[in-house]
Amino acid sequence: MRVAMYYNNHDVRLEEMPVPEIGPGELLLKVEASGLCGSDVMEWYRIQRAPMVLGHEVSGEVVQVGAGVDRYKEGDRMVVTHHVPCNACHWCLNNRHTACDTLHQTNFDPGGFSEYLRIPQINVDRGVFPIPGHVSYEEASITEPLACVYRGQKRANLQPGQNVLVLGSGLAGLLHINLARALGAGRIIATDMVDYRLQAARRLGADTAFSATEDVPSRLREANDGRLAELVIVCTGALPALNQALRSVERGGTVLFFAPTEPGVSLPVEINDVFFRNDVTLTTTYAGAPADLATALEMIGSGRVQVGDMISHRLGLAEAGLGFRLTAEAGDSLKVIIQPQR
C-alpha cells in the first residue's frame, strides 16, 4: 500500500509498505479521509521519531473484521480515534481520561496518511464510531479535533451568554468559534495574523475579527461595550498571544490555553493582578476522550457545527507534502484533508 512517510515538514515522501495484517478483535480500515493537524507540523516534536507515518484524524470503511468482532462488519463507515483510555485508572475514574497512561500509549498502525490502517483491539472496543449516512468522510474526519475543542470548552466552563475572545483563527480557532456559537455564547471576537483566516472567522460565527498586531485589549473593549472577555481561548503557541490573553480576560473570567508552545517557553504571571485581585482562572486541556468524540460526531451530523465550510484543501496521498507545507505556513489555508484513495 502507499503511505506518506514524514521525514520533516519539507520532506514527505510517497512510499510503499505492506498492508497491515489484523489479529483477533481488530479491524482493517480503508482510509478515505485523514485531516492534517497543527500538531503534525510541530517539527520539533515530530522529527525526533521520523521517519514515520502520521495522521490521526481519520475516517474510512471497514474492509476486514478480526475474529471475535461482532459489532462491526465489512462496509461500515467509521471514524476511529488513535488514543483511547483504559477506563479503570485513577485518572479515568475521576473523569480525567486524557491524563491516562494508556491513552498516551495507544495508536494506529501505521498512521492515517496511508491507504489502510490496522485498528488495535482496545481501539475497536472504545474508539470506533459509525458515521451517519449523510455525513461525508471529509466532514467525519474532523470529529477528533472537534472533540478536543468540545472538551476544552467544557473544561473552561463556557456558559450561554458569555463573551468569548479567540486568539488564533486557524482550524482550532474556527472550531472554537463555531462551537461557542452553537453552545449559546454571547459576543464572539477573534484575532489572527492572516486576513484570509479573519474572513473565515467572521463567516463561521465571530461577531468581530481583527489583526492580532493591534492593541487587542483596547479593540476588545471597543467591540464589547467597554469590557474584556469572560472567556479567552488561546489557539496559538506564540508567546505574544499568551500575554495578550492575560491582558484581555475580564475579572472573574477564564483563560483556556488550548495550543502547545515550543519547548522551553515560560509565561510570567503577575500573581496578585491575575489570581488574587481579579479572580481569573487559567486552565488547559489535552486531546479528547471517547465520549467527547461521540458528542462531536453527533454535532457534525446534526449540523450544529459547520465543519464542511472549514475544509480549504482536499489532496491525494501523493500531494501530502504540499498539505504539510500549507499547514505549516498557516497562510491561505484552513483545514487540509488527505484522501489516500486518490
Query: Residues, the chain, total?
Result: 342
Out of 3.40.50.720, 3.30.1370.110, 3.30.70.3150, 3.30.450.20, select the CATH number for domain 157-284.
3.40.50.720
The C-alpha cell of 22 is what? 489484523
How far is Cα 334 from Cα 336, in angstroms, rounded to an integer?
A: 7
pLDDT tens per residue, the chain (342 residues)? 999 999 999 999 999 999 999 999 999 999 999 999 999 999 988 988 999 999 999 999 999 999 999 999 999 999 999 999 999 999 999 999 999 999 999 999 999 999 999 999 999 999 999 999 999 999 999 999 999 999 999 999 999 999 999 999 999 999 999 999 999 999 999 999 999 999 999 999 999 999 999 999 999 999 999 999 999 999 999 999 999 999 999 999 999 999 999 899 998 888 888 888 899 999 999 999 999 999 999 999 999 999 999 999 999 999 999 999 999 999 999 999 999 999
Q: What is the DSSP string of 162-201?
A: --EEEE--SHHHHHHHHHHHHTT-S-EEEEES-HHHHHHH
Three-class DSSP category at 128: strand
- Bridge partner list, 231: 164, 254
Type of residue numbered 275 = F
Q: Which residues of 205-244 are buried (b: 16+ CB within 10 A; e: fewer)?
A: bbbbbbebeeebbebbeebbeeebbbbbbbbbbbeebbeb
Phi-psi region of 157 (alpha: psi -120 to 50; beta: other; left: phi over 0): left
Extents of the domains making up the chain: 2-145+287-339, 157-284
The domain defined by 2-145+287-339 carries CATH number 3.40.1280.10? no
Can you list the alpha helix ranges (DSSP code H) found in the chain? 43-46, 90-93, 101-105, 121-126, 137-140, 143-155, 171-182, 195-203, 216-223, 239-248, 271, 290-302, 320-329
How far is Cα 36 from Cα 287, in angstroms, rounded to an integer?
A: 15
The C-alpha cell of 248 is what? 484581555
Phi-psi region of 4 (alpha: psi -120 to 50; beta: other; left: phi over 0): beta
Residue of 230, 233, 254, 127 lying closest to 172 (CA atoms): 233
How far is Cα 186 from Cα 161, in angstroms, rounded to an integer?
A: 4
pLDDT tens digits, 94-118:
999 999 999 999 999 999 999 999 9
Q: What is the structure's pLDDT at 276?
A: 83
Beta pairing, strands 281-284 & 249-257 = parallel
